[in-house]
Every structure is written in C-alpha cells, then in structure tokens.
Structure 1
Amino acid sequence: MQTEAHYQGAPILDVDPFSTEFLTDPYPFHEQLREAGPVVWIPKYKVWAMARYEEVRHVLDDWETFCSSAGGGLSNFNQEKPWRPPSIILEADPPMHNRTRGVLAPLLNRAALNKLREGFDEKAKLLVDSALARQEVDGVKDIAEVFPLQVFPDAVGLQKEGRENLLPYANMAFNAFGPRNELFEEAFKEAEKVTDWIMNQCRREALSEDGFGAQIYAAADAGEISEQEAGMLVRSLLTAGLDTTMYGITSALYSFASFPEQWSLIRENPALLRPAFEEVVRFQSPVQTFFRTTTCKTQVAGVPIDADQKVLLFLGAANRDPRRWEAPDTFDVRRRAVGHVGFGHGIHVCVGQMVARLEAESVLTELVKRVERIELNGEPVRRLNNTLRGLSSLPLKLYAAD
C-alpha cells in the first residue's frame, strides 16, 4: 500500500476495497485508511474514501452536498443506467425521500412494531426449542436466516411460496453496490428469475390484506404516493429488511461465542441486552460501506473535491476509529455504543433499523433465558459480499441453562 503520493492534497492508496483479501480481513486495511488521512484517493476506482468517524458522519449528515440519488454504490446514476429502477427511499433525496420515508416511518416505528412483538417472541421460543433439542446447530442456517425469513415476510404480507428467492435477491442488491467483480457476476447468475419473482410479489394483489405491503398501498389510495411507487417501496422493504438483520443476528451469535464472558454478563444482567446489540453492530458492522456522490465542488478536511465525484464511506472503519471509541477493537457489552454508524446516519439512516432491533431482541432474549453458554463448534465460513460482512456458516454448540 502506497501513501507517499498525493492527489489534490489527499494520500493515494493503492488498495482494492472489494478484493477477496480486503473483504476477508478488512481491519488492517481500515487502520491504514484511517491513519493515511481524513480523506484518501483510491485510483483503482477513481473514488474518494473516508474511514475516520468524524468525516464519515459529516458526509452522512450533509445530504445536500453528498447525495444518494446518484446511487448508493460505485455506479454513478448521473453517468450510467442502474441495473434496476433506483430505490425511492435509499437512492432518493428530498423532496421525494421525505415523501416516501413519510409513508414507511409510521409502519416501522417502535410503537407500531411493538404490536408484532408477541408474535415474534412466540416464534423465537419455537426456534430456540428446536435449537436446544439438537444442541449442535449452524448459527446462520438454523437461527439467523430462519427467523427473519419467517417473521419479516409475514409482517410484509408476502405469500409463503417462493421465499427462497429473497436471499439471492438481497445478495444481488448488496453486491451491486460494488464493482462488477466475481462476486457481482456470481450473484447475478439467476437474476432474471429472482427479479421477476420479487417484482410479482410487490404487486397489490399478491400481498395479504393485513401486512406492511397493504398499508403502503393504502397510502397510494390516499394519494400520498403513486401505485407504482407503492410497489417500489414494498421492494425496498424486501431488499433491506432481511440480509442486514440476518447478518446482525449472525454477528451477535459469533460475538457471544467468541467472547463467552460477555454472554455471561448479559445473563447476569439482561438489561444489557439492548445496548449489547448496539455494540455488536458497532463491533462487527454488518453493513461495511456505502457511497455518496458530490452535488457541487466542496472540501472535506481541507481536501477539495469536485462535483459529481463518488465518495466511499467505510462505516465499519468509522465504528472502530480510536479517535471516537476507547479500545475500539474490544467487544464490550457495557460500552455505550450510541452514535455508531452501523445503521447509517442523517436523513438516510436505516428506516428498518427498529425491525432489525426487534427481531434480534426477540431471538437473543429467548437465548439469554435458556442458554448458559454458546460455543464455537467448528470453523466459521466467511460469506463475501461487496457491501455486507457476515458468515455463510457458523457451527455452534448450545448449552442449556439449568
């Protein structure tokens, strides 16, 4: 990695953030990015990059200068056609963003989601029953994927048949935020089939009458959004509401298996469970990166950046920036992790973050009650993705509490 050369005052780093080496073990690269400077230039993709907490949060805060409407990934929608119609929530700016987020926000706030809590808790109990009966489980396939794939599509009002298409679709969407590398090509092998199924499920007539989807279409009937926009918002829920939650639950299980003393602390004091999940998101950062695009000439930390430039934000690196966090590479459930950027920040902060928290809380609460110890029972297998950091397999052994 080279730091001697500079471009417009920023260090030039010869690094590929989407390489197998980087995605497998990003932490040494994150440190090099942070220590090189507040803003760096990555020539391979001709993008600016920021890995320190202060600059990342600043950019996320300033949507007028650093927009989302030109794409949340490497692709610049001002210069090239996106692979699908852009998300009208994630890849939109005000005033459209205000209008569409205004439809979703009441559906996904804590008060609304608390109505789902009883059903989530009941399903979490059944899930833990099954896991404890076997004792040896795969934390990904038997817990982290199973639970969100059941409860969230139910909440949206999705039909049961064909739900196996949800995971490959989300994998496509998050890989598409990166370059057209091998991960992208592999994810898109069955793109037509998976995309067609998703689009069909977003239609009004495909949804149940009592889910989030029906409520979104009710907003269309009330004139808040168009019929077409309603279908796109349902699609946004299906894209963002599964993989990030699965990766979050997987990260929690992996963290507690790796640091058993932290699990013991939560079992001794269950009030730590909610802040513990925030620490999981900070420490593991399931969503590692997102892009913004400059709308005008600007400066960050004294570095001039032209208009229509892509800016790569390393959320995972910001969440371990020693300038912001004490002992950032230590997993500590007693830490006050408020302020992490694992769910983003600013007007585009993850609209589904309360769903993720509720699902994780339901599963972890049941585990805390009934599982004394979570142990690694084999070598975890990393799942590489251009945006997300998680596992494809997590062998665990669960020890029931007396």
Structure 2
Amino acid sequence: MNWKPLARRLAAGLEESGDLVSGQWSEAFESTPRHAFVPAFYRNMGGAPSVWRELGVGDGPDWLEPIYTNVSLVTRLDPRTVRQVEGGWTGVPTSSSTQPSLTARMLEALGVEPGHTVLDAGTGTGYQAALLAHRLGTAGQLTTADIDPELTASAKGRLEELGYAPVVVACDVTVHPWQQFDRVIVTCGLSRITESLRAAVAPGGRLIANVGAPLGSGLVVLDADGEGVLEGRFHPGGGSFMPARTDRSSYPRTGGDAQAAGEEGPAGVPADVFLDYHFAFLLAVHLPGVQVQYGTDDQGQAMRRLVVPGGSSSETVYPESGPAYYRETGDHGLWPAVERCWSWFVEHGQPSWDRFGLTVTPDGQRLWFETPKQVVVQV
C-alpha cells in the first residue's frame, strides 16, 4: 500500500493552510501512517437520524483517500444506540480520528520538545499518540489514556507495531490521579478544567484543551506557574471535540420533549445568532449543559429551542412576517440570559474567542476578557 505520497500531500496541505508551521511536526505527519490507526470508519450518508456507512480496507480508495484528507472520521458508534438500517447504521458517534488540521494546531500550540513528559488525554485511535511519540523520540515519556479499554487496547497494539511503547491507561482522564507532566493535551470536550487535569500540569508546563460545549466551545492554551495556577488565552483557530464521557458507554444526552409554553416576549436577538461560533462559545460558558435544537413550530415557522435536559426550555420563533418572539417554560430564565449575553457581546464589538482567557486555580476558574482583571463569569 503506497500511503506515503498521500501523507506528504496531507502535510503539504496543512502547511499551506498555516496549521503546520514547524518542520518537526511536518515530518511527523509525513512519517505516520494514519490508515494504520483507522482500519475502518463511518461515513455520514445523511438522513434523519443520520445513516452511517462503514468503510474498511476492503473498500480500497473509498477508505484510504478520506484518511489522508483534512477531515474528521467517526470510528465508533455507541453500542447502546446502534441500529442496522438500509444502507448502513444509525447511532450516536462516541469516538473519532480528529480532523488533522485541528490536531496540527494543538500540537504546534503545545510546544513539545524532545525529552518532555506528555499526557495525551483522549487516546481514541492512537494516531495523535503516534505523532507525539515520533516527535518526542526515545528521550521523551508519553502517557496516553482513554475511558474505553477497547480503544486503548487497540491503540496500544497499533503503536507497538510502529515501534512505540507509551504508557497506555484505560481510565476517566478527567478524574484520574495523575502524576505531573510537562505538557497535557486533552482531546475531549470539557465544560471546565477538572481539578485532576489542573494538578497534572507541572510548574512551567502547559495544557491545551477544548472548553465549553454543547452550545459552543473554544480551544484554550494554559501555562502553569509554580503555585498551581493555570492561565492563558483561547486559540484563534478554535476547535471542538465530542464531550468527555464518565463511562465507556455513556454518550451526550439529547434534549427532552418539553413543550415550550408560559412566559412570552419579543426576542431581540437575530435568527442566526447561534451560528456565530464566537457568541455560541460565550453563551455556552454562561449556560453550561444547555443544548440548542433547530426546527419549525406547529405553524411551520422557523424556531430555535434551548433545552435544559430533563427540565426547562425556551423557544424563539422567527415568523416570515412580524417580529421574532420567545416563549419559555420552567424556571431557568434561559432567554433573558441569552439576551444579556448578546447585549454584552454587541457592546464589546462582537469579539472573537481569542480575546478571552481562562484562569484556573485550586479554588475555581474564571473566564476573562482581554486581561485577567476583566472577569466575565466564574466557570
């Protein structure tokens, strides 16, 4: 199988886009066979719910070509939700091979040097661990971990076939009692930096993680001082991951079927507000756990519904004629919170997420704007 020209093409594309900037990481992408870590993946064929077609080695170019393109590849569906249907499977994705451009941005921002100790929190297929092992060389110490023991076992075998022998751990990466590392890279979505991950960063070390979700998220780069404090800004490139799981079979909950009724009022927020990644990130930090659904109401009018799983909901209706309005049920005050966030966002010039930062201490964490002194919200 002649995969090396495909790997070189992938690396060249990442260099052209600016995601790869150092020769060391370019060489790692060129030298690491991504297909060895993705013996099969699921392609979204559309539909509602989505139908996933499984592609493997026997599918030839239909399998190999996407592996060496800049796309994320779903590699696992939650066994509790999988159903075989005509044309493939339905189910909730729980693991993937990350989009290479996002992997490249994170690895570049991580600032890894040969000899560093590194925690790769979120093994998945093991491809990122292979890139890290290549970069670290024999002097480095790599630990890679995932909550799913089947994933870690498969990844360990693939890494060993390439001559790499990192420490591989099956655990909940967000609560495991880690030793300290020079670098920590987290490839699952977090609502906040957990105490275990904060404590895992050695003085002078660095952590990079995806914070926010499910409404929106940002990629934060945090440096550690000598007193257990992590602080840094959000990366301008952004990025998101599947939410962290607390057990190998859990998956993100969907919103309930609550019918929005009760308080109503004019909605002073544009219809496309939730499509603005920067605003969605800010809103997600203010409304952790809240999800957004898109659709139409009983009259066929465009609707956005915010849902607290198992609890309150707030619908915003955008009629073809007439002003938009919201209607809310429950006691969470979802829509007023949206309008407060939108007002702040507009007043501050609709800032991109890289103008925000995060400070994490043993006592808590706070999102700030421009400088750590301008605290926006306690996370």
TM-score, structure 2 normalization: 0.27
Which structure is higher in strand share?
2
Q: Structure with the greater relative contact order (CA < 8 A, sep ≥ 6): 1 or 2?
A: 1
